[in-house]
Each structure stands twice: as structure tokens, then as C-alpha cells.
């Protein structure tokens, strides 16, 4: 690849020729990088050590057939996949009207923050299958997020009673939050303790600490908050955005605990 560049530069010529040389070399680099990205290491070696023609052969045999020639290939606007899936599910529901289809539609609405639409779809799923634990758990979670804690409690309790690890403990956390919102502080504390006996979620430790502060159990609250703060630097980068809110709350709460406690 470099040999081609030196040969072309050695040929001399005016500014137009220099532009042509840069374009040719840039194309060869482009194909070389693309081959590395696709893990086509043999092609990458051929492009690097041989002439521009090897890059052209790669372009026609590998790059174009893969759709790489289209800069929009595989590109979708944000949310496009969800919109397509929503339309497909709505069509499926029209013809089949199954509980699992309403559940999936509700889950998408919940992920989008459209809680009213999510609740309606969860209720439709529940009407069709009230025994499914995913439907009960997700409907309960949605109701809790809509400040309908009293209605959410029996749904969440029924799932957690038989499967406390449902959804990796997230259903149990939703139950603890609903209990706290309903004023059942002691029960919420016991549920947070159950969560923390199995998981070390910052969401659980911070909210557990909040209730402990209400009970004036400052040493245990400080211990939980300190754990959140100390663990944050070791959190994987992809997860830090979600954890940031709990880190901020932990830092704010640490400042409210009496120094003498």
C-alpha cells in the first residue's frame, strides 16, 4: 500500500495529479480498514502489501455485495424498530388477540415512558391470562409507577411470593417501592433486605438507606450509601448512566446523616 503511494509520488506532476494520488491512496486505506473491521484479515494483508488493484477487487467482491456501498444500509432512525414492531403487534392483535402480544406491546410502551398506553395493554393481557407471572409482575410495576401502589401490591406480592428472583429481582424491588409508597415502611424495609440478600443493586441500597434514615438507623444507612459511592468507579461504562442517579442520591443523603451518628 505504501509502495503504491511512493511510486505515484515519484512520478511527479502538478496539483491535479497530487489530488488523484491522494484519492487513490485514500481508497486503498478505506478498503484496508473495512477488511479489518469485517475481520477479513487475509484480504487486509493483500490490500496492504499489493497494489491498488487488490483494493478494487475487494471492493467488488466483498464490500459492494455486503451492502457496504450504500451509506444508509442498515441505518434506522431512533425508535424506528419500536414503531415497526408496534404496528406489527397491533396487526397481530387485531387478528389473533393473544395475551403475549398485548404483553409485548405494553413492554414497548413502558420502555418509551408511555405509561397510560402500557397500563391499557397490560390490562388487556391480564384479562386474557391472569395466571401468567410476567403479565402480573409487569402490570404491577406499571401501576406502581403510575402512583397506584395499593392496586399494584397484590399483583407484585403474588409473583414475589413464589418467585422472588423474578426479572432478576426487579419485581421484588418494585414491590418494595410500592410498599414504601403505600406507607408500609416496615414491610418495605424487610423487602429491601430480601433484595439485598440476593443482589447488590444501587437502586436497592439507596432506597433501603432512605427508609433507614427515617427510622434513624444512621450507621446502617451510611454503610449502604458508602457502598454505592465506593462501587461506582468500578461500574462498567455502559451501566454508569443508569447508576448516576443513584450515586447522586447517595452523595446527597450522606450529607444529611448526622456526623455524630
pLDDT at 5: 47
pLDDT at 133: 97
The rounded Cα 187 to chain-centroid distance in angstroms is 30
| Global pTM value | 0.70
Which triple of cell numbers denotes residue 136? Answer: 402480573
List the end-to-end C-alpha distance of the chain, in Å, as a whole number.
Answer: 69
Mean local confidence (pLDDT), 52-74 = 63
Mean local confidence (pLDDT), 147-161 = 98
**pLDDT at 65 exceeding the cut of 70:** no
**pLDDT at 240 exceeding the cut of 80:** yes
pLDDT at 45: 82
CB neighbour class for 21 (10 Å; exposed up to 12, middle 13-18, buried from 19): middle
| Strand blocks (E) in the chain | none
Q: What is the mean pLDDT of the chain?
A: 87
**pLDDT at 19 exceeding the cut of 90:** no
**pLDDT at 11 exceeding the cut of 60:** no
Which triple of cell numbers denotes residue 225? Answer: 450509601
Contact indicator for 122, 142 with CB cutoff of 8 Å? yes
Mean local confidence (pLDDT), 66-76 = 45
Q: How far is CA 258 from CA 36, 141, 145, in A?
A: 58, 34, 31
Mean local confidence (pLDDT), 224-231 = 96
41-45, 169-173, 189-193, 215-219: the lowest-pLDDT one: 41-45
Separation CA 159–CA 165 (nearest Å): 9
Q: Which of 70-84, 205-219, 235-249 has the highest mean pLDDT?
A: 205-219
126 φ/ψ sector (left φ>0, alpha ψ -120 to 50, else beta): alpha
- Phi, psi (deg, nearest 5) at residue 3: -60, -40
**pLDDT at 67 exceeding the cut of 70:** no
The pLDDT confidence band at residue 72, using thresholds 50, 70 and 90, is very low
pLDDT at 69: 47
Separation CA 128–CA 118 (nearest Å): 16
The rounded Cα 202 to chain-centroid distance in angstroms is 16
The pLDDT confidence band at residue 42, using thresholds 50, 70 and 90, is confident
Separation CA 25–CA 2 (nearest Å): 8
pLDDT at 94: 96
Q: What percent of the chain has pLDDT over 90?
A: 63
Mean local confidence (pLDDT), 50-78 = 61
**pLDDT at 77 exceeding the cut of 70:** no
The pLDDT confidence band at residue 74, using thresholds 50, 70 and 90, is very low
Mean local confidence (pLDDT), 220-229 = 97
pLDDT at 2: 46
- Phi, psi (deg, nearest 5) at residue 139: -65, -45
pLDDT at 32: 83
Amino acid at each position: 500500500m505504501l509502495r503504491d503511494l511512493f511510486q505515484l509520488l515519484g512520478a511527479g506532476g502538478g496539483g491535479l495529479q497530487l489530488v488523484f494520488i491522494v484519492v487513490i491512496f485514500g481508497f486503498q486505506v478505506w478498503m484496508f480498514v473495512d477488511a479489518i473491521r469485517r475481520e477479513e484479515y487475509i484480504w487486509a494483508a493483500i490490500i496492504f502489501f499489493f497494489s491498488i488493484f487488490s483494493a478494487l477487487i475487494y471492493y467488488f467482491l466483498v464490500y459492494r455485495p455486503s451492502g457496504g456501498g450504500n451509506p444508509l444500509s442498515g441505518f434506522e432512525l431512533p425508535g424506528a424498530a419500536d414503531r415497526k414492531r408496534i404496528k406489527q403487534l397491533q396487526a397481530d392483535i387485531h387478528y389473533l388477540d393473544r395475551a403475549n402480544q398485548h404483553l409485548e406491546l405494553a413492554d414497548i410502551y413502558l420502555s418509551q415512558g408511555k405509561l397510560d398506553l402500557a397500563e391499557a395493554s397490560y390490562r388487556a393481557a391480564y384479562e386474557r391470562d391472569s395466571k401468567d407471572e410476567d403479565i402480573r409482575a409487569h402490570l404491577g410495576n406499571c401501576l406502581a409507577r403510575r402512583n397506584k401502589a395499593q392496586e399494584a401490591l397484590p399483583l407484585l406480592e403474588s409473583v414475589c411470593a413464589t418467585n422472588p428472583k423474578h426479572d432478576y429481582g426487579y419485581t421484588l424491588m418494585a414491590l418494595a417501592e410500592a410498599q414504601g409508597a403505600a406507607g408500609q415502611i416496615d414491610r418495605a424495609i424487610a423487602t429491601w433486605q430480601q433484595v439485598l440478600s440476593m443482589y447488590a443493586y444501587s437502586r436497592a441500597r439507596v432506597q433501603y438507606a432512605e427508609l433507614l434514615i427515617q427510622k434513624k438507623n444512621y450507621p446502617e444507612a451510611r454503610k449502604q450509601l458508602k457502598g454505592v459511592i465506593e462501587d461506582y468507579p468500578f461500574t462498567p461504562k455502559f451501566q454508569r448512566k443508569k447508576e448516576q442517579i443513584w450515586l447522586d442520591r447517595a452523595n446527597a443523603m450522606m450529607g444529611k446523616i448526622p456526623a455524630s451518628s
